[in-house]
């Protein structure tokens, strides 16, 4: 199993949707682990680690981007505590 880390920025209209916690696991079989988050009424910033098959992780990222989430991969060493 592979693991990848991402910073996700959710626009206001998606803040209340369980895209990470429920949808990614149910649709793609990956295991998301929210490592940090900052949520306001206007936006949500989330650091998430996604574990699963490489293809499923990539499909998860594509899905989030298609929904309107900005997804940026965190390279190893960028934020070692995430």
pTM of the model: 0.87
Whether 36 contacts 47, CB under 8 Å: yes
- For the stretch 14-54, pLDDT in tens is 999 999 988 899 999 999 999 999 999 999 999 999 999 99
Q: Is 62 helix (H, G, I), strand (E, B) or coil?
A: helix
> What order of strands is seen across the sheet that includes strand 2-11?
31-39, 43-52, 2-11, 70-73
Give the chain's mean pLDDT: 91
Domains of the chain and CATH, by start: 2-73 (3.30.70.260)
């Amino acid at each position: 199993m592979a693991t990848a880390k991402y910073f996700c920025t959710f626009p206001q209209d998606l803040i209340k949707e369980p895209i990470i916690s429920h949808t990614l696991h149910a649709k793609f079989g990956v295991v998301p682990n929210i490592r940090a988050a900052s949520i306001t009424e206007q936006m949500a910033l989330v650091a998430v680690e996604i574990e699963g098959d490489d293809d499923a992780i990539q499909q998860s990222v594509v899905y989030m981007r298609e929904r309107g989430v900005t997804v940026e991969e965190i390279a190893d060493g960028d934020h070692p505590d995430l």
